[in-house]
Amino acid sequence: MNVFGLHTKPLQHKRFSSYHFLRLVEENGDVGFWSCELSADEITSSVGLHRILGLPPSFPLSYQKLVGLMHPADRPQHKHMDQVVRAGQPFAREFRIVRPDQTVRWILIKAEAILDREGSPVRAVGLVLDVTARREAQHAIMQSEGRFDAILGALGAIVWTTAADGRAQPSKSWQDLTGQSAIETEGEGWLDAVHPDDREHTRAAFRAAVANRTICSADYRVRTPNDGYIWLHARGAPVWGPDGTLLHWIGICLKRSEYRPGGFAHERSLIATDVILTAAQVRGARGILTWSVQELASRAGVSVSTIRRLEANESSVVRRNSKFAVRTTLEEAGVEFGLSPDGRPSLFVR
């Protein structure tokens, strides 16, 4: 047989020892092997198993001694594993052990029963894996998620996710806020809870972000079962896989009245009256931020033509909601709008 230019002989022409294979596996991983005659308590075990248990190779091992190594909190649930295998059933269990040096390790033990000619279990064989690293990684993830959830809870944030193509997925926090059901939020159904005057620029902002695979930012009012409409600030970002594939989107919504000076009354007064936003202010703010017309339009969730109208001093034909979205986007980027000493509209940078 020729493999990659090398001449090899069929496997059956050589005599291989299963002992050497098992030793090779043990030396290259945290694994040990064992067998037990069910008529006796004594366990025949490999060196790898003793290493996992923290015992010297010459230490005689029995089922009761293995139970004695179990963590006290895990012992009640797992101390009767032998009854399962004596009934002829295989099992796989994970539990902690406390080594003689008082270090704690997580192990996975697997076992199968060997039956005699009459079908009665006479022997058990199995393996033990040290799964401490995996368990510790899971614990670290759970701790991280717990801290993340605590922070979001403290902020009163609404968490949302969408598929890679932008289709919304059910969000319990959104459902709790709006009263929508999971089915009602699917696709673009969540927009039904957004104020009609804010729906267009909100939809445009998110569609532009999905199309360009950029961060999404939008401000809008949302209907709640008890409080009428409240203002939200939403931000979302794409999540990428190791190979550069877009996996999904994740974002949060914050109630604006909880962190913006002036709160909801400030937002309502701006949207209820004409928003002061001059052509010079828009051009100047873009220059300070080094944003293109397209970037400002995408961030504000408005059309490119809207920005061009504002910069051409055609503010009167631009809807209040669109002007509000542009001004809010610039403010969030660090631009402050105000009046110069002679009373003319001006802008500053924080």
Closest-CA residue to 32 (of 147, 149, 131, 119): 131
Three-state DSSP state, 301: coil
CB atoms inside a 10 Å sphere around CB 295: 15
Q: Contact, 189 vs 203, CB < 8 A?
A: no
Q: Angle at the Cα of 348 (from 346 to 350), degrees rounded to 5? A: 160
What is the predicted pLDDT for the residue at 277? 78
**Residues 40, 62: Cα–Cα separation, whole Å:** 9
pTM of the prediction? 0.43
**Residues 97, 99: Cα–Cα separation, whole Å:** 6
For 132, list phi and psi in degrees, rounded to 5.
Answer: -60, -45
**Residues 85, 88: Cα–Cα separation, whole Å:** 5
First to last CA, the chain: 75
Q: Contact, 255 vs 156, CB < 8 A?
A: yes
Mean pLDDT, consecutive 10-residue segments, the chain of 350 residues?
A: 45 52 62 85 83 89 88 89 86 92 92 88 89 84 65 69 87 89 89 90 86 85 84 87 87 66 41 63 85 89 89 82 84 72 55
**Residues 318, 278: Cα–Cα separation, whole Å:** 12
Closest-CA residue to 49 (of 83, 85, 23): 23
